Amino acid sequence: MIEDMYIVMQRVAELKERFGLKRHNVKVEPESNFEQELFNLDRIKNRELLSAAKDPAEYTKDDINRIADHYARKNKIPEALVRSMISVESSYNPLAVSPKGAMGLMQIMPVVAGEMNVDDPFSPEQNVEAGTGYFKKLLNYYDEDYTKALAAYNAGMSTVDRAGGVPNINETKRYIDKVISTYLENSKR
């Protein structure tokens, strides 16, 4: 019952934000005991999700999808898209490291890990939280243009800005195509 109310309250907050009924950059404290309980429930859920930490190599694809779905919803990104990014970036390997130094499931670079306050880039929870948070920042920066945001996630913002859009880099073009095609496959399920 409380979880259902939590979902309804979360949806109301999303609608308020979408239609400009919520002031940005203002810390909102719960106004009632009920809202306080929902606020505490959210904090408890996040703590439980993070406290279930285990060795990254022990995570199953289902574990990773659960984490991905949580942070996708939190950042208002399609769940299937986050799963697709993980699949393309690391093939669901939490210990993946690229030749350029990108780490973990969402292949976050050390600079992004620092920016997003990541202590352990190989922790699936921290990595996916940082990767989805960073991708959300890119979506906001590029006015919800998913193609530009994906290009920037792969090649960097400065490269996309210099090119005025998707740069003429074969690796980046292939990356975008793979993520989108995987996303379309995942969306059918």
The answer to whether 167 and 159 have CB atoms below 8 angstroms apart is yes
Separation between Cα atoms, residue 31 and residue 84, nearest integer Å? 38
Decide: helix, strand or coil at residue 97. Answer: strand
Contacts of 4 (CB under 8 A, 6+ apart): none
What DSSP character marks residue 56? G
Q: Residue 89 catalytic? A: yes
Which of these, 182, 140, 137, 146, lies nearest to 165 by C-alpha position?
A: 146
Write down the catalytic residue from 3, 17, 89, 171: 89
Query: Known catalytic residues?
Result: 89
